[in-house]
A and B are shown apart, each in its own frame.
Chain A
């Protein structure tokens, strides 16, 4: 896993930091973005080996970004782990785990995540 470049995208900077520190401690290189548009820009500049993507974000949410990445021949092979929300508790939103599962992401982790499960998912995709 050493040297793999992983992009972490979430609008919660503390979660991005927690995940980034975990990945860095395993020898990965980490990019950070805080919404879908910023992630898009980051992917254009440097192609990540894997993307950890939150769904509920301003400007461009994780559903839209994931769909665009999977529709684009240049990016469709990049593995995406979607961080789905506990939307079941807020029926008015479309950010539920079930909605997340309906996307083309390569794996799905429901929030609140734990970093050990996330690491298992990351290693499972390489």
Chain B
């Protein structure tokens, strides 16, 4: 058993529903998220991965909004979705772009036979969507690979949560500016976006092998899953430095020689962190509309905790940045290594 890794903490958001969608059409995500924003439905989590001419999306909303969002999608786009009621989101932090943290999380779930339904990262956090009935086991499982500075046991953690939900309800409606302000925008250049299509049951075992990337000293700047066409098929999308392409390619082949992965070379990953960007309505739609106005093709997106992260081709990043600055107040833009 390897030594435990020290983390800051974890959060659980209960009583949510996940809606998974696979759809064709270039502007589909923008139109969908605009409708959701018009209905003022708060998003607790979203991922989106492009598969050429189709899109795989996961959207998580409060349970109270699940009927509304299903009706909205049905009326505007038809029965293109699957509703997963009784879900919860578990988020651990901070990962500091270390693939080891994702690997340990996947490994802990695999050992407990816990199957995550969806996964995404923000700049600080890895968020996993699970069936709510599995949350107790999942939170216990975290204490095997990780230690947390604020609590030593699951019981300590429960005590630390008192009052958090009330605070969340008070503040989520606070920020509704005309031009949303971001705390900061950061970006990583020279990345490859890697997409692996696989059966959903394999995601934990493939994810656990991210440990191989740690040994290579690689930063994991983006990771998300999305539904894919075909029964129980999922896409695991993540980004790694292009300069290490051969090395991580060898790791991937060793992990699972039979899997086929699709690489999109030279992409830029950028994250916008802002007040409740990961859980209020209107932010993702504003983000997607801004890119659309500059004809920027989004390859993937994750929205969780308080950030929206996008993946675009390197040559489109300048256009993306200009578009975002038109719709958001961006006080600082920082390139990360």
B175 at the interface (CB under 8 A from A): yes
Interchain CB contact (< 8 A) of B334 among A11, A12, A21, A117: A21
A22 at the interface (CB under 8 A from B): yes
- With A112-B181, A115-B332 as contacts: A35 and B305 at CB distance below 8 Å: no
**Bound state CA distance, A14 and B305, in angstroms?**
7
Tell me, rounded to whole Å, the shortest Cβ–Cβ distance linking B298 to chain A. 20
Residues of A within 8 A of B331 (CB): 114-117
For chain A, which range describes its interface: under 10, 10 to 19, 20 to 34, or 35 or more residues?
35 or more
Interchain CB contact (< 8 A) of B170 among A11, A17, A93: A93
CB–CB B273/A56 < 8 A? no
Residues of A within 8 A of B124 (CB): 13-14, 16-17
Tell me, rounded to whole Å, the shortest Cβ–Cβ distance linking A96 to chain B. 10
Interchain CB contact (< 8 A) of B167 among A19, A56, A112, A114: A56
Residues of A within 8 A of B125 (CB): 13-14
A25's nearest neighbour on chain B, judged by CB, is B334
**Bound state CA distance, A41 and B164, in angstroms?**
20
Interchain CB contact (< 8 A) of A13 among B8, B170, B171: B8
Tell me, rounded to whole Å, the shortest Cβ–Cβ distance linking B66 to chain A. 26
A2 at the interface (CB under 8 A from B): no
**Bound state CA distance, A92 and B274, in angstroms?**
23
B149 at the interface (CB under 8 A from A): yes
A38 at the interface (CB under 8 A from B): yes
Interchain CB contact (< 8 A) of A58 among B93, B160, B277, B334: B160
CB–CB A90/B170 < 8 A? yes
A20's nearest neighbour on chain B, judged by CB, is B94
Residues of B within 8 A of A35 (CB): 150, 160
Say whether chain B's binding surface is mostly helix, strand, loop, or mixed.
loop
**Bound state CA distance, A74 and B76, in angstroms?**
62
A42 at the interface (CB under 8 A from B): yes
A47 at the interface (CB under 8 A from B): no
| Chain B 85-124 interface 0/1 with A at a Cβ cutoff of 8 Å (1 = within) | 0000001011010000000000000000000000000111
- With A13-B125, A90-B171 as contacts: A112 and B163 at CB distance below 8 Å: no
Residues of B within 8 A of A42 (CB): 149
Residues 37 to 90 of chain A near chain B (Cβ within 8 Å):
37-38, 41-42, 56-59, 85-87, 89-90
**Bound state CA distance, A25 and B333, in angstroms?**
13
**Bound state CA distance, A90 and B169, in angstroms?**
11
- With A13-B124, A112-B181 as contacts: A21 and B336 at CB distance below 8 Å: yes
9 closest pairs, A vs B, by CB?
A114-B331, A17-B124, A13-B93, A13-B124, A14-B306, A38-B150, A112-B181, A58-B164, A14-B273
Known: A56-B171, A58-B164. 8 other contacts (CB 8 A): A13-B93, A37-B160, A38-B149, A58-B162, A58-B167, A90-B171, A90-B174, A112-B183
